[in-house]
Amino acid sequence: MKRLTMVSLVLVIAILLCSLCSVFSIAATRGTDVVSDSGQVQLMGDVDGNGDINIFDATTIQCIIAELLVPTDDMLVRAKVCGNEDVSIFDATLIQLYIAELPCDGLINVPVKKPTEAPTDKPTEGEVEIKSASVVVGSVFAKAGETVVVPVTIHKNPGINGMQLNVSYDSALELTKAEKGEALTGLNLTLPGSFGNPSKFLWDGLNENESTNGIVLNLSFKVPSTAKEGDLYTIAVEAPVGSIYDNEFNDVLFDMIGGAITVVEGESKPTQPSDKPTENETEITKPSVKVGSVTAKAGDSVVVPVTVYKNPGINGMQLNISYDQALTLTKAESGNALPSLTLTQPGSFGNPSKFLWDGLNENEKGNGVVLNLTFKAPSSAKSGDSYYVAVTSPDGSIYDLDFNDVVFDMINGAINIK
């Protein structure tokens, strides 16, 4: 039923696209190739020009729309799979349908790919090969104001007897519901009494390890009614050190891979990264900690700021930074905010990495950059790739001088390859 909800959402989008893309002007006849103004034969849908049609092509279109990437003329030709004058989010959606092997005959000017089997709840090794034990948050499409189901899946499970997952998400989203998936049937799931950000989910078993793969959790998120076309809301997952183990209490290591909800209606406005806190397209009205979103080239090192907004006054704080496994965290430096608090960094950078601030006699009310993180992007990264950087704070780890809890929203960021 949960997978059916996902498929139904995609089919609704497909029906919408049918009405929008009824006339094609890219080529006189539908086929795999088209000749651009440069005289080169182009494979429609292969936006980045690497000879294959995959998820990076859809991501590249999103970067073009958000003006994070300046495309070449040939890239624009390959991106307009819908046949319209301008590149739009619907071109990205069509490529997503094609990759998922859902019927798109008559919708897309790329080789028609027929589904080889019915949709399944079981995880697949798709365009990003999963080579080790992993927990993956799905990436889905939604309209402004809609509630959409985001699956959390487990891959290459070697056998576990207990697990804790902390799910954090863009503060503009609302987590309304969580249901157990069909994987890990031998473990009991404990849901939080109410949904926080992050929200903690616990699985525990008795005598035997559970080694099934598939959906472990279905999360229902409500997208803000003010969302615009192209808006992307990140969802991150992390597991505290030692919180995934087998029946002999040995640690079992899993990679953690975040996902996102992309809005398919409305109009988006790009914003420029800044070290100073700004009330940008998503107005920040409450105390918040935000990871910046920046652009980089493959193999580059880039600084990602972590910023505090609307600080009511704190005397201590712990932030856990988790990030895409393809990134390397090489350096961390204190920012100019929170000058009266002392920052303690980890001895070595893990994933997540823990950062602690503590003070003496006064609350600190400074706003601005509290941490500058230097990440090295993979040399194999391609234009349009996006690598998430997430921030969470354990319950009770941000407090004032009287040890009262101070609640902050946590807002994730990303490194986008140009």
Estimate the crossing angle of helix 55-65 against helix 89-99, to 10 degrees.
Answer: 170
User: Are domains 2-99 and 288-417 of this chain identical in fold?
Assistant: no
**Is the pLDDT reported for residue 330 higher than 90?**
yes
Distance CA 122, CA 154 (A): 9
2-99 is a CATH 1.10.1330.10 domain: yes
Q: How confident is the model at residue 66 (pLDDT cuts 50, 70, 90)?
A: confident
- Tokens for 415? 């490194």
288-417 is a CATH 2.60.40.680 domain: yes
Q: How confident is the model at residue 101 (pLDDT cuts 50, 70, 90)?
A: low
How many other CB atoms sit within 10 Å of the CB of residue 312? 12
Distances (CA, A) of 383 to 80, 324, 378, 416: 17, 16, 12, 8
Q: Are 56 and 95 in contact (CB under 8 A)?
A: no
Mean pLDDT of 345-352: 90
Distance CA 13, CA 329 (A): 38
Domain segments of the chain as ranges: 2-99, 134-263, 288-417
**Is the pLDDT reported for residue 187 higher than 80?**
yes
Using one digit for the tens of pLDDT, what is the confidence trace for 354-411?
Answer: 999 988 888 999 888 899 999 999 999 888 888 889 999 988 899 998 889 999 988 8
Tell me, what's the pLDDT at 375? Answer: 93
DSSP3 helix / strand / coil % (the chain, rounded to 5): 10, 35, 55
pTM: 0.41
Estimate the crossing angle of helix 89-99 against helix 2-20, to 10 degrees.
Answer: 130
Distances (CA, A) of 209 to 153, 243, 399: 17, 15, 39
Q: Rounded mean pLDDT of the chain?
A: 78
Using one digit for the tens of pLDDT, what is the confidence trace for 240-281?
Answer: 888 999 999 999 999 888 888 888 754 333 333 333 444 333
Task: Tell me which CATH code domain 134-263 carries.
Answer: 2.60.40.680
Tell me, what's the pLDDT at 138? Answer: 84
Annotate 301-368 with DSSP letters as a single string: EEEEEEEEES---BSEEEEEEEE-TT-EEEEEEE-SS-TTSEEE--SS--SSEEEEEE-SSS-B---E
Using one digit for the tens of pLDDT, what is the confidence trace for 148-174?
Answer: 888 898 988 999 999 999 999 988 899
